[in-house]
Amino acid sequence: MTCDADKASKARCNGCKASGKGWNPCGKGRKTSCKGREAPGNGFEESSKARNRLTTARDELRNDAFAAATDFNNVQRRPHALRTRDSLCVRHAPPPQLLTGSHVTQTRIAIGVVLAALPAIATAQNPKTQPLAHSPAPTVGAITAADLRTRLYIYAADSMEGRETGTRGHVKATNYIAAQLKSLGLVPMGDNGTYFQNVPVIRRALGPGSTISADGVTLRAGTDFVAAGRGRVATIPAATVIFGGTAGDTVGALPADQTRGKIVLYRQPPNAGRGGFGRGGRGGGFGRGGSSDAAAAITVVDALTPAQTETAMHPREGAVQLVADGTQRETPPDITITRAAAEQLLGGSLDAMRKGQTGKTVHVMIRFVDTPAPARNVVAAYPGSDPRLKNEWVAIGAHNDHIGIRAQGPVDHDSLHLYNQAAYPVRERIALYNLANHICGGRLRTECSAATPGQQAHLDQLNQQIAAFHVNLDSVRKANGGIRADSINNGADDDGSGTVTLLEIAERFAKEKPRTKRSVLFVWHVGEEKGLWGSAYITDHPPVPRDSIVAQLNMDMVGRGAASDLLEGGPTYVQLVGTRRVSTELGDIVESLNKQQRVPFVFDYQYDANGHPENIYCRSDHFNYARYGIPIAYLTTGLHGDYHQVTDEPEYIDYPHMAKIGNFMYTLGAYVANMDHRPKVDGVVGDPKAPCRQ
């Protein structure tokens, strides 16, 4: 499942720190409901009104877990501690920061916890609920927990390197899917008779010959400046440079008339961070107090870091972007230059420079080198049997990608997972308390207020419980053979679970050979984590007529959902989103088929509410079908503490629950494929190119 949006950055949402109101979250929202639960001993009772307003905070508490696993007071360095359960070596990474000693106090790793508001956990438990490795066995036609386990231990293995779009791990993962489809005899529906629909994606590097020049001064790329650009990059015209002061300082901001047509240089604010680029190149505005009529804006830093230069000149494998189409607006590149370079252009020291002081006429010659990168939807078909209806399609989908390898290097896997497991419920209660009392924080920024002194005291008490966690990892490390340093985001649940469940559904169709009237289209979408790229591409460039697709059934994260993952979780828990948004009839079918099961699912609809601040409806691949008026149903077991962490591993998956979901989705797909009519579209369908808002 993709992060929400500040979609420009697609932030991984790692490293958020605890704050007075619980934490300062980022990323996508928690997808659970709270049905009148009380936190024992803390006097909090959630109101029914709050149940309808649950927002971001509950999902985003996963970020504190990430921060905790890297914020150790006692660390040691081990240069070769990368975990590699497979024979393949992963990319080089910095030495990990690891816990040391038998007892680590004053950290936020939660093992052996006693909480006033939670049941006591007497001793550290070995987090390896299932083996680290699994011997594969031949799969059968039925959708079984054993088959799903076999498939997921392959698909979410370390050798897949996190399956990030644009990487060799993505290629290996999609090759596995295609090989399975070929062995099943399903019809390839990709490009040129293959199972792959290639999505045009590039890796963009700053060309080494790029220059910025003025009156005999020539600045060189990688030495004096770096630049980045997305989409269609505009050419910056020759223009006079003008000093705009410090970025973000609106006091005494230059008026539009003064910056119009000029290149504005802004100093980076103190403590602004040292990674990535400045935010130059978007016109004079953008938080700098300038004018959008400026020719460009450039950020000035004291010196370029090696990371900035490497990112610009030699971007990492997964740093990819879609190829721009002709409809996109051109935007100037983001440029960051050194202080020394800026002083050459302005003709004086920045320390003595006044806002509005002009310098030389500058000629900017930025060139980028675009290298094609792999990004593949995997598409296959099961043909229908009715002479007329076989030309209509039921699409069933999941996403094949994840977020790759942790750039900052390894962390202690067991510490992180056990922290997530123990701290998550406390942070959920903090989130629920904030939401029930309309306390501003996270994405709850309207219709809210600051905590009262009494409320703040209660929140402080909960945070103090977390701060008092005590760690004893000896027994866990003994059972696991020592520290498990981990840098690979395996994505077992997100969305390895959906991917292998879809493979099992395809296998059941292929081996049982039901005589469905309509055909079934199986799609494993690429780039969901980058911003729903693959589903956008296949619905804009469908392998079958788009109006012949009668429904799309989506699975994203269907492998967890236990009570240990979320407050409402259990063996029958499933969240439903969008089932009645385009077609009421499809939603009714889902409910009807569920009631026919011997043990029905308990469906949670709360995140499908109109205007829900988490905007879940817009954040997985089903949306790109719905925007064209195709009825959709989105099933998920929700988020958990291991979401977008290196701890999202096959050993923590609930395979029987996942098999139950897979069999239900098979039944649903076959039912819709056999209907004598297509599900009626009675929802409002807007402009397919308009931004989604739930």
Helix, strand, coil shares of the chain, percent, nearest 5, are 30, 20, 50
For CA atoms 680, 684, 690, 691, give the dihedral sign: negative
For residue 130, tell me if it sits in a domain.
no
Domain that holds residue 73: 38-125+413-485
Task: Between 49 and 647, name the one with better pLDDT.
Answer: 647
Query: What residue type is assigned to position 504 of the chain?
Result: E
For CA atoms 290, 294, 299, 300, give the dihedral sign: negative
Same domain, 355 and 211: yes
Same domain, 394 and 419: no
Task: Give mean pLDDT, residues 620-634.
Answer: 98
Determine how many CB atoms are found less than 10 A away from the CB of residue 289. 23
pLDDT recorded at residue 418: 86
For residue 31, tell me if it sits in a domain.
no
CA distance 456 to 369: 52
Strand partners, 362: 239
Same domain, 229 and 358: yes
pLDDT recorded at residue 22: 29
DSSP states of 628-670 as a string? TT--EEEEE----TTTTSTT--GGG--HHHHHHHHHHHHHHHH
For residue 605, tell me if it sits in a domain.
yes
pLDDT recorded at residue 567: 80
Q: Which of 485, 514, 533 represents a domain boundary (last residue)? A: 485
In the predicted structure, residue 65 carries a pLDDT above the cut 70: no
- Tokens representing 691 are 């931004």
> Which residue's structure tokens are 């259990």?
570
Alpha-helical segments (H) within 555-653: 584-595, 622-626
Q: Which helix (H) or strand (E) segment is 552 a member of?
A: strand 549-555
Cβ proximity of 331 and 232 under 8 Å: yes
pLDDT recorded at residue 603: 97
Q: Which of 442, 457, 485 represents a domain boundary (last residue)? A: 485
* CATH code: domain of residue 520: 3.40.630.10
- Tokens representing 66 are 């990430």
Task: Between 314 and 470, name the one with better pLDDT.
Answer: 314
pLDDT recorded at residue 610: 83
For CA atoms 111, 116, 122, 126, give the dihedral sign: negative
Peptide bond into 495 cis (omega under 30): yes
Task: For residue 470, name the pLDDT band (cuts at 50, 70, 90).
Answer: low
Task: For residue 471, name the pLDDT band (cuts at 50, 70, 90).
Answer: low
Q: Which of 431, 465, 485 represents a domain boundary (last residue)? A: 485
pLDDT recorded at residue 271: 72
Task: Name the burial class of residue 294, with classes exposed (0-12), middle (13-18) and buried (19+) by CB atoms within 10 angstroms of its CB.
Answer: buried
Determine how many CB atoms are found less than 10 A away from the CB of residue 269. 12
Same domain, 208 and 305: yes
In the predicted structure, residue 463 carries a pLDDT above the cut 80: yes
For CA atoms 673, 674, 677, 682, give the dihedral sign: negative
For residue 15, tell me if it sits in a domain.
no
381-396 per-position pLDDT tens digit:
999 999 999 999 999 9
For residue 25, tell me if it sits in a domain.
no
Cβ proximity of 300 and 337 under 8 Å: yes
SS3 state at 41: coil
Q: How many domains does the chain have?
A: 3
SS (H, E, C) 460-514: HHHHHHHHCCCEECHHHHHHHCCCCEECECCCHHHHHHHHHHHHHHHHHHHHHCC
For residue 615, tell me if it sits in a domain.
yes
Measure the CA angle with vertex 42, ends 38 and 48; round to 5°: 35
* CATH code: domain of residue 210: 3.50.30
Strand partners, 611: none
402-423 per-position pLDDT tens digit:
999 999 999 999 989 988 887 7
pLDDT recorded at residue 2: 80
Among candidates 632, 499, 628, 609, which has minimal Cα distance to 556?
Answer: 499
pLDDT recorded at residue 273: 56
Same domain, 275 and 383: no
Same domain, 477 and 546: no
Same domain, 472 and 542: no
For residue 12, tell me if it sits in a domain.
no
pLDDT recorded at residue 444: 66
Cβ proximity of 239 and 291 under 8 Å: no
645-666 per-position pLDDT tens digit:
999 999 999 999 999 999 999 9
In the predicted structure, residue 113 carries a pLDDT above the cut 60: no
Q: What percent of the chain has pLDDT over 90?
A: 63
Query: What's the farthest any 2 CA atoms get from each other in the chain?
Result: 81
SS3 state at 557: coil
DSSP 437: T
For residue 225, tell me if it sits in a domain.
yes
Same domain, 164 and 220: no
Least confident piece of the model among 179-188, 190-199, 444-453, 520-529: 444-453
Same domain, 364 and 472: no
Same domain, 185 and 331: no
Task: For residue 27, name the pLDDT band (cuts at 50, 70, 90).
Answer: very low
pLDDT recorded at residue 26: 29
pLDDT recorded at residue 425: 74
Query: What residue type is assigned to position 557 of the chain?
Result: M
Among candidates 259, 270, 256, 333, which has minimal Cα distance to 301?
Answer: 270
Strand partners, 298: 265, 335
Cβ proximity of 189 and 195 under 8 Å: yes
For CA atoms 196, 201, 205, 209, give the dihedral sign: positive
Cβ proximity of 434 and 463 under 8 Å: no
Name the phi and psi angles at 662, rounded to 5.
-60, -45
Task: For residue 442, name the pLDDT band (cuts at 50, 70, 90).
Answer: low
Same domain, 312 and 456: no
Same domain, 511 and 608: yes
Pairing of strands 196-198, 376-382: antiparallel
Least confident piece of the model among 15-24, 62-71, 309-318, 366-375: 15-24
SS3 state at 434: helix
Task: For residue 84, name the pLDDT band (cuts at 50, 70, 90).
Answer: very low
Least confident piece of the model among 40-49, 115-124, 271-280, 599-608: 40-49
SS3 state at 145: helix
